[in-house]
Amino acid sequence: MAHAQAAAGHGAPVHATSTGTDNRKLLMWLFLGSECLFFASLIASHLVYRSRQLVPPFPFESEIPIDVYNGLSETVKHMCEDLGNGFADCHGILDIPVTSTSTFVLLFSSLAMVLAVYGAQNGRPMMMKGWLLATIIAGVVFLGFQVYEFRLFAMEGLGLSTNQFGASFFVLTGFHGTHVGVGVLYLMSMLAASFRRNGLGPETGFHIEIAGLYWHFVDIVWIIIFTVVYLIPV
């Protein structure tokens, strides 16, 4: 109680908080907690739906009865091959090497973000700007990979209405991509603002650190999505 009363002095700084953590940082942490439940719901939906495909394209290689094969529309029939034993073999649509590459790019962006925060907190504005730019470029490259992947899947015949894998895959990875896109806009705003006469002001390190929290969260979620969607077979 004694120290609490000492803090009541009139000269207490504006930003003094009960826990010592800045309000804005606490807000970001609580928001990210909420985001965990958001992605958890999307991933759970994907887990429920991804093994309930009636028609290809399937995420992983699978066999289907020949009468199902014969009833397929031409847009997806090319994915499968009649084995002649009453079954048809359909190849999986996921291209793991390509997505591993984009995953690596996104993981690299987290390293770049760490270095940008280091630069911002240690009074090295050029280091901060350079690594912010690198983070942004890596984020955009990741989004480019995602556009490429979506286009490829669409050309192979996978749409939102094709099967439950398509619906839950596009909604899950689409919302993750949207988060990366918002992060890119966020970091670009920070980078642009840092070129103003006063830069980001006396709290530069703090602002970049908060942006970094968001960026790292989006990356961590991708690690889980990549593992669950691409690496663990149905």
Partner 1 sequence: MATTAGTLPQYATNTGLWSWITTVDHKRIGTLYLFTGFIWLLVGGLEAILVRTQLAVPNSTVIDADLYNQLFTMHALTMIFLAIMPMTAAFSNWLIPLMIGARDVAFPRMNALSYWLYFFGGIFLSSGFLFGEAASSGWFAYAPLTTNQYAPGRGMDFYTLGLLILGVSSMVAALNFAVTIINMRAPGMTMMRLPVFIWMTLVISFLLFLALPPLTVALIQLMFDRHFTTHFFIVDGGGDPIMWQHLFWVFGHPEVYILILPAMGIISEVLPTFSRKPLFGYAAMVFAAVAIAFLSWAVWSHHMFTTGLAPVPRAIFSANTMLIGVPTGVKIFNWLGTLYGGSIRFTTAMLFAVSFIPLFTIGGISGVMHSSPPIDSQHQDTYMVVAHIHYVLVTGALIGVFSGLFYWFPKMFGRMLDEGLGKWQFWLFFIGVNLAFFPMHFLGLAGMPRRIYTYDAGLGWDFWNMVSTIGAYVIGVSVLVFIWNFFKTMSKPMDQPNNPWGAPTLEWATSSPPPEHDFDVVPVVRARDPLWYDRDHGLEQPQPTGHEHIHIPPPSYYPIVMSFGVLLMAVGVTTSLAVTALGIPIVIYSVWGWALEPTS
Residue number with CB closer to partner 1 (22 or 95)? 22
Of 72, 93, 113, 167, the one binding partner 1 (CB under 8 A) is 167
CA 54 to chain centre: 28
Task: Report DSSP state, residue 230.
Answer: I
Residues contacting partner 1: total by CB under 8 A: 41
Stretch 140-159 residues interacting with partner 1 (CB under 8 A): 159
By C-beta, is 19 or 73 nearer to partner 1?
A: 19
Distance, CA of 214 to CA of 7 (rounded, Å): 32
Asked whether 214 and 183 are in contact (CB, 8 A), the reply is yes
5 vs 73 by CB, closer to partner 1: 5
Binding to partner 1 (CB under 8 A): which residues in 178-197?
185, 189
| 47, 49, 54, 102, 164 from 57: Cα distances, Å | 17, 14, 9, 22, 10
Residue 196, number of CB atoms within 10 A of its CB: 9
34 binds partner 1 (CB under 8 A): yes
13 lies in the site for partner 1, by CB under 8 A: no
The Cβ of residue 105 has, within 10 Å, a number of other Cβ atoms equal to: 17
Instruction: Name the token pair of 202.
Output: 């006396």
For position 31 contacting partner 1 by CB under 8 A, the verdict is: yes
Minimum CB distance to partner 1 smaller for 6 or for 155: 6
193/145 Cα distance (integer angstroms) = 28
Residue whose pair of structure tokens reads 């911002």 in the numeric block: 120
- Examine residue 38 and tell whether it contacts partner 1 (CB under 8 A): yes
Assess 133 for contact with partner 1 (CB under 8 A): no
* Residue in 83, 147, 152, 160 binding partner 1, rule: CB under 8 A: 160
The number of CA neighbours under 13 Å toward the Cβ of 10 is 0
| Whole-Å CA distances, 79 to 68, 91, 126 | 13, 6, 51
Residue 34 Cβ vs partner 1, minimum distance, rounded to whole Å: 4
Shortest separation between residue 231's beta carbon and partner 1, angstroms: 23
Q: Name the site residues for partner 1 (rule: CB under 8 A).
A: 1, 4-5, 7-8, 10, 14, 17-19, 21, 23, 26-27, 30-31, 33-35, 37-38, 40-42, 45, 48-49, 52-54, 159-161, 163-164, 167-168, 171, 175, 185, 189
